[in-house]
Structure 1
């Protein structure tokens, strides 16, 4: 009698591939019963379908190392929508688990400009000076109440006459003075939440770690194609009449008879959100509330930017 004849008909489809793989292996390890019955559930007319427990069933060996699982008559194959894995993959919790988020909250800082610092070996390092200005936690959001984890941080100060009444009530509930800027930072789980009214200082960041910095870039206004897209322009000598910096041809003739969408043309440049990843924290000065990061960051001088632990290098710290 073959192996397929000894197994129940409804179990052959799942069990046979497992049995063949086990027969060809040198270790001839026993097949986990959960692999065979994980897609079966009890069909009970009086109650809903229940999960199958592999420990409840007896298995009879075909050989010294192979076990089979008899599937009773009152068992049916589960649909794909009924599988726990499918429901977990499509759930909001699973989407949150897959999303790349930092473990800790960030801070709202002010960009004070750029400068150069010299290393002991004489190397000059360009750094951007970021300053924390009375940053405090103004609210927290959780999965139960909002569907995701986040920390709302406010920075700066604003006179109460220049703040709307809803925001005044929001700050009063948090127990913090009115803030000039309020930003929200997503975190991975509840461990990244902080108590409301907690002050965030420069000690929140460590020298040598990597951070992500984002903010609104400098607005350049209406710019031509040479500045906006890097076009080389038309010839600057003979044959061109007052059109040296023009875009040139923008399309074809009757076919397709229109300018294709996405064509690079003149238009408004800058003034959009820009993110710089993996920026190294060069130095932290707690006395003045300053964070010096290597390289440039988006935004103008005295503009507001956000800084948070790098999601691509969360645990990398270089001395």
Structure 2
């Protein structure tokens, strides 16, 4: 039985969500999300001996860095660091290694995309949880959008934890799995993914290859 080879590069990159667009094939058209992928580099390698677990810390170039982050960027041969994330797993790479999108992804690859969903602010139960509201007849008054009773009568005489109520909606960490790579544009450092990626335009995305 042959042993599985340790991959050299991490199976993920960091990118910024771009606009939705269409890509045309011979038989159909695809709704895609364009993702701008700046230069990604390995900035740190975590080991079991030193850190207690195996992981690789990757970062994408851009923005301005303070002195502390600037020192980390200099060690990896980067001008500045816009964002960084840890990717769990064992990889045979070293600090300063560059990650090209063509080395990780190809057309048809399945990926998971993680981002922060759009914030909706303080939302009612009808928008946040799809409540129906109260009756619109039979003597009902000013209760069309009411959530109804939140207590439980005489027993247990308290509001149960986790009850669906009005509150802040959105700005959550969301992962969409099994998105497909529609196209890899290495010349312009862009990835095109079928479907809609989470978050607003310009938001950070972690794109991880599944298979």
The TM-score, its normalising length taken from structure 2, stands at 0.88
Contact 1:150 1:193 in 2 (8 A): no
Contact 1:140 1:193 in 2 (8 A): no
Match of 1:200 in 2: 99
Deviations 1:39-63 (A, max 9, x none): xxxxxxxxxxxxxxxxxxxxxxxxx
Structure 1 unaligned spans of 5+: 1-102, 315-319
1:236 deviates by: 3.5
Deviations 1:154-203 (A, max 9, x none): 113233xxx3332222222333222111111112x2xx242222222220
Q: Which has the higher contact order (CA 8 A, sep 6+)?
A: 2
Q: Tell me how far apart the structure 2 counterparts of residues 174 and 119 of structure 1 sit (CA, whole Å).
A: 40
Contact 1:136 1:197 in 2 (8 A): yes
1:217 to 93, 112, 117: 117
SS in 2 for 1:227: helix
1:178 to 80, 87, 93: 80
Give the strand-richer structure, 1 or 2: 2
Match of 1:107 in 2: 13
Q: Using a 3 Å threshold, how does the CA distance of structure 1 residues 193 and 213 change in structure 2: closer, same or farther?
A: farther
The alignment yields a C-alpha RMSD, in angstroms, of 1.7
Match of 2:3 in 1: none
1:208 deviates by: 0.6
Deviations 1:259-286 (A, max 9, x none): 1111110011111111111111111111
Give the helix-richer structure, 1 or 2: 1
SS in 2 for 1:222: strand
SS in 2 for 1:219: coil
Deviations 1:201-237 (A, max 9, x none): 2202111111111011111111111111111122345
Structure 1 residues 217-296: aligned runs within 5 Å? 217-237=117-137, 239-296=139-196
SS in 2 for 1:136: strand
Q: Tell me how far apart the structure 1 counterparts of residues 92 and 11 of structure 2 sit (CA, whole Å).
A: 7
Structure 1 residues 149-168: aligned runs within 5 Å? 149-159=54-64, 163-168=65-70
Structure 1 residues 41-120: aligned runs within 5 Å? 104-120=10-26
Match of 1:303 in 2: 203
Q: Tell me how far apart the structure 1 counterparts of residues 70 and 123 of structure 2 sit (CA, whole Å).
A: 40
Structure 2 unaligned spans of 5+: 1-8
Q: Using a 3 Å threshold, how does the CA distance of structure 1 residues 104 and 133 change in structure 2: closer, same or farther?
A: closer
SS in 2 for 1:139: strand
Q: Which structure has the greater CA radius of gyration?
A: 1
The runs of at least 4 aligned residues of structure 1 exceeding 4 Å deviation read: none
Q: Tell me how far apart the structure 2 counterparts of residues 124 and 236 of structure 1 sit (CA, whole Å).
A: 44
Give the number of aligned pairs. Answer: 202
1:143 to 43, 48, 57: 48
Contact 2:41 2:76 in 1 (8 A): no
